[in-house]
Structure 1
Amino acid sequence: MKRLLFAVCLIVSTLSLAQPTTGRWPAAKANAWYAKEPFLVGSNYAPANAINELEMFQADTFDPATIDKELALAEGLGMNTMRVFLHDLLWQDSAGFTKRLDQFLSLCAKHKIRPMLVLFDSCWDPNPKLGKQHEPTPGIHNSGWVQSPGADALTDVSQYPRLEAYVKGVVGAFKNDKRILAWDTWNEPDNANDNSYGQNHTIKTEVPKERKIAIVTRLLPHVFQWARAAGATQPLTSGVWIYRSPDDWQNSAKWSLMEKVQFENSDIITFHQYSKSDDLDKVIPALKSFGRPVICTEYMARGVNSLFQTHLPIAKKAKVGMINWGFVAGKTQTFLPWDSWQKPYVNGREPAIWFHEVFKRDGTPVDPAEVAAIKQATRK
């Protein structure tokens, strides 16, 4: 406990003690922005030949040809957005990274897609490194995805100016870019990776859970502030992801400190929904009661009955954007379920039901009925 308090005090001492005005969009501005948008449908996207966000955007492995080919598949489905993860370490080559991100945005625009860009992410490997990324660990879901910032940077307050420079640099470079839909400041900020790198796993390399959550809870409002100070004209958000009942969402006394930060700083409300359609049907009115646009930034896991066919019609009726996890199966191996960390699919074995992804590596649909459901949802 003393160590946790010490870490929080260090963070307080290095960040502005004055409570900044958030600059959050008024609800009327957010709703006026959303009224001009179509029904947003897309995927969380990394090309099949990238194991993580570093491999996607580093100079040696950035692959515009593959991205172009895969985004053409998305356009064919009528998808109009993608959620794409960036990384703070990429800013060490700020000029090169900016150029490659600009090229990626041009490819998106070619295929009528406006992505939501994610600045930070608390999920999976807490020890990211630039350079050649390791090959996928056989049989394991997301065996090479990396956090941003990594554990070293997150727990070292002397690196916070570098994180601030990254946020202000990348947002500032594209602050007026109409090719970008929105900025997601931090994906699942209080995810402690309990069953992979965290407290429930054999090999624990994660920052201790309570310490990590305390640090990120304090840091996240400043990430919003940095993005706004950089002049972002696109909306900002950070999505809630832990399942709660609709009544809980409408009772702020039941929110965690992190959820309070997310709701109070986000211009638009985003959330994750890996459960059956009845739950989606109930949670949408609860989140819409906040009076702001609502977008689901992660869903579609066949093993838990989160499906295109059941979820897209509900969301379209309510005009709640839907961004599923996974697009073309590849090095992330997210066609394998989360519990493959405990029960790896070895010797080339595949699950009877693929967990995520829309297309197989060769570009054929995992399920033609799903493709039909997506096209039906995106039809104007």
Structure 2
Amino acid sequence: MNIKIKINLLIIVFFAVQTTFAQEIYEGKWSAEKANKWYNGHDWFAGANFNPSTAINQLEMWQADTFDLETIDREMEWSADLGFNLHRVYLHNLLWQQNSCDFIDRIDQFLEVADKYDIKIMFVLFDDVWNPEPKLGKQPEPVPHRHNSGWLQAPGKEYLQDPSKDSLLEGYVKGLLKAFKNDNRIVAWDLYNEPTQENTNWYGSGSVNKTELPVDVKPMYSLRLVKNAFKWAREVNPSQPLTIGIWWGDINNWGTPEKLPVVDRVMVENSDIITFHTYDKDMDVVRKKITELKKYGRPIICTEYMARGENNTFETVMTILKEENIGAINWGFVAGKTNTIYPWKSWQEKFTEEPKVWHHDILRKDGTPYDPKEIDLIRSLTGYR
């Protein structure tokens, strides 16, 4: 059968069954009462998406040869010095398949360091953003001056489009959650970052997209994994809440599940706590998102924000999140191999030196701040003394 015909048939089937998929809520979802009791048992959450400055991506962070506990310890200490108490941290299924026992051991070492500084962790298991062809082993050097030139999708194109590999992903989710299901150093499980994300929407990502799935097919595969991730995690029944964050679409519908795209509906209707992303310039948009998400009556954590060039800053966004008692996890901490001080448009435009306005990140590699006034503001909001 012609590949275009196959794709068209898949799309027809996808939209024919999307309503049924959207209505599926997996047994074990927390009640709103339980979720709010959990949230109220913690201090206000504030922190960053944490990746050590010496790692270009998830694999380089966690692989045995490049697992840099010394840097992790140093940067965690700097984090605690800002009053941060929660970090969101990405894992990868290939690490589990490589050697699950060693991976668990390194995760435990990482959690010991975080716990030393009273920092809780929210782990991310899957990710639909950037390079769709992850490979174990030595990771590439950063492309100079390019934002996130080496970040990886998990599980990536090969696994996402092949249901026969689902058993491997099931083993990863269940094995990982079973190992840490009662670990109070882990505050929540973020099962999947930005499902259906197409890199081409983010200013074009050059060669990264040459092997990307067709734009109208990937959502089908992402939906399957979103559903499976919730199903597998519920079968383990961890003591920590589950979530997948909403990040795109018509914000006027964010609080009305039946109006959401099918993937987003499955996400919000199966999440114990509500998480979301906001890189918006307009603070009225940020407030509108919050208003919509409050309709679920559950705790809310913003798991990505802060893009200075977009007027999305600690001053504009973090202050709103604190006022609303919404957890605040910005993107980026110590500037390093991810090059996220550069804007998304660095995939299109050539940069030859450090940008005057950093896109993400807070500290330089020596621990000095990009902007000392930001440090004062963050500390005032976290209550650091």
Q: TM-score, normalised by structure 1?
A: 0.93
1:256 to 241, 261, 277: 261
Instruction: State the one-letter code of the partner of 2:130.
Output: W
- Displacement after TM superposition at 1:275 (Å): 1.4
1:57 to 53, 62, 77: 62
Report if aligned partners of 1:296, 1:321 keep a CA contact under 8 Å in 2: yes
Cα distance 1:270–1:303, how it changes in 2: closer, same or farther (>3 A)? same
Report if aligned partners of 2:203, 2:348 keep a CA contact under 8 Å in 1: no
The equivalent residue for 1:233 is: 239
The equivalent residue for 1:155 is: 161
Instruction: State the one-letter code of the partner of 1:364.
Output: T
Report if aligned partners of 2:272, 2:298 keep a CA contact under 8 Å in 1: yes
Q: Please, which moves more after superposition, 154-163 or 191-200?
A: 191-200
2:112 is equivalent to residue 106 of structure 1:
yes
The equivalent residue for 1:70 is: 75
Report if aligned partners of 2:177, 2:233 keep a CA contact under 8 Å in 1: yes
Instruction: State the one-letter code of the partner of 1:71.
Output: M
- Counterpart CA distance in 2 for 1:233 and 1:204 is 41
- Displacement after TM superposition at 1:253 (Å): 4.4
Cα distance 1:55–1:278, how it changes in 2: closer, same or farther (>3 A)? same
- Counterpart CA distance in 1 for 2:250 and 2:206 is 22
Report if aligned partners of 2:301, 2:328 keep a CA contact under 8 Å in 1: yes
Q: CA RMSD in A?
A: 2.2
Instruction: State the one-letter code of the partner of 1:339.
Output: K
Matches within 5 A, 1:163-312: 163-195=169-201, 204-242=210-248, 244-245=250-251, 247-276=252-281, 277-312=283-318
Report if aligned partners of 1:52, 1:144 keep a CA contact under 8 Å in 2: yes
- Displacement after TM superposition at 1:363 (Å): 1.0
Instruction: State the one-letter code of the partner of 1:379.
Output: G
* Residues paired across the two proteins, number: 372
- Counterpart CA distance in 2 for 1:191 and 1:198 is 12
2:61 is equivalent to residue 32 of structure 1:
no
The equivalent residue for 2:17 is: none
Q: Which runs of 4+ in 1 moved over 6 A?
A: 196-202
Structure 2 SS opposite 1:146: coil
2:377 is equivalent to residue 373 of structure 1:
yes
Q: TM-score, normalised by structure 2?
A: 0.92
- Displacement after TM superposition at 1:196 (Å): 6.5
Q: Which runs of 5 or more residues in structure 2 are unaligned?
A: 15-20
Structure 1 SS opposite 2:88: strand
Instruction: State the one-letter code of the partner of 1:70.
Output: E
Structure 2 SS opposite 1:361: coil
Q: Please, which moves more after superposition, 133-142 or 277-286?
A: 277-286
- Displacement after TM superposition at 1:139 (Å): 1.7
Structure 2 SS opposite 1:117: strand
Cα distance 1:54–1:7, how it changes in 2: closer, same or farther (>3 A)? farther
2:375 is equivalent to residue 344 of structure 1:
no
Structure 1 SS opposite 2:328: strand
Matches within 5 A, 1:93-132: 93-132=99-138
